[in-house]
Amino acid sequence: MRRSLLYTGCSIGLLALFFLFNGCASSTPSPEQSDSPYEHYRLGDAHLKTGRIKQAIEEFQKAVALDPLNPISHNYLGLAYFFDQQHNAAIQAFNRALQLNPNFTDVHNNLGLVYSEMGDTERAKREFQQVIRAKDYATPEVAYFNLGKLSLTDKSYDEAVFFFQKALESNPKLSKVHERLGFTYELMGKVEEAEKEYQEALKLEPKMLEANYNLAMVYFKQQNYSRAKYYFYEVISLAPDTPWSAKAEEFLKIIEKRVK
């Protein structure tokens, strides 16, 4: 199991990550505009947050049809298309939202996610940079985190560290950013820094599977087998009967042989 591949792909897991790091859910259409489009928006939002993507698309399409000048519904329709991997449709919806409201910063972040998923790194970076340049944007850590992930994918490790650190300057309590920063340090051979970041991630989110597994691997490589065993057992407890636990069990068997 290659750890570098555990964080890619558009899935319900990415959906959960999106709602953790993306601030766009704070904006909603006003119910005073029209009860009917607002109701479709509300239902679409509920479907989207629970992973019922097809139903979300249908509801947001109805909201857009009834209130075509509302950029928020276009934005959410774009998100639903994105999670359904309809990338071109998502881009079209997001661009329409920006036509209606050029200052809708969240849409730039969402466009960046689409381009990133499509492998268009340069366009993705340009969209995330737009977010950073919006001085009044409440959560710049969103864009910094996404830029860090792009840099990590490109193996531009120093750049990734810079962006992850900028994200943590904006919000030091983001466990996933600490974990990704730790993983970057580990790839750079900076083991002590990696260990520190994984520990920080676990302080904030003790049951984070990735941080537990990565920290176990750090201790295993250091031949600190007692600490490695602790975190491998945590992985097995958190994710029984999965590839994670299977790999942890393999390393536990190796440890047993080495400490005899």
pLDDT in tens, 122-138: 999 999 999 999 988 88
pLDDT at 6 over 50: no
Instruction: Tell me the helices (H) and strands (E) count for the chain, helix number first.
Output: 14, 0
Average pLDDT of 111-130? 95
The stretch 16-27 carries a mean pLDDT of 43
pLDDT computed for residue 1 by the predictor: 43
On the question of pLDDT at 179 being above 50, the answer is yes
What is the rounded distance in angstroms from the CA atom of residue 50 to the CA atom of residue 141?
Answer: 24
Res. 4: pLDDT tops 70: no
Residues with Cβ within 8 Å of residue 27, at least 6 apart in sequence: 72, 106
| Cβ contacts of 41 within 8 Å, gap of 6 or more | 28, 29, 59, 60, 63, 72, 73, 76
Mean pLDDT value of segment 33-60: 89
Question: Which backbone phi and psi does 130 adopt, to 5 degrees?
Answer: -60, -40
What is the per-residue pLDDT for 30?
55
Q: Is a pLDDT exceeding 80 seen at residue 242?
A: yes
The per-residue pLDDT of the chain, averaged, comes to 88
Q: pLDDT-based confidence at 21, cuts 50/70/90?
A: very low
Q: Which residue has the higher pLDDT, 247 or 15?
A: 247
At residue 141, the pLDDT reads 94
What stretch of H or E contains 71?
A: helix 71-83
Q: Which amino acid does the sequence have at 230?
A: Y
- Going by the DSSP 8-state scheme, the letter that residue 142 receives in this structure is H
Higher pLDDT residue, 143 or 22? 143
Q: How many residues can be counted in the chain?
A: 260
Across 109-185, the runs of DSSP E, i.e. the strands, are: none
Average pLDDT over residues 213-237: 97
* Cα distance between residue 142 and residue 127, in whole Å: 12
Tell me the mean pLDDT in the region 53-76. Answer: 96
Name the percent of the chain lying above pLDDT 90. 83
Instruction: Report residue 14's pLDDT band, with 50, 70 and 90 as the boundaries.
Output: very low
Query: Which residue did the predictor score with more confidence, 3 or 138?
Result: 138
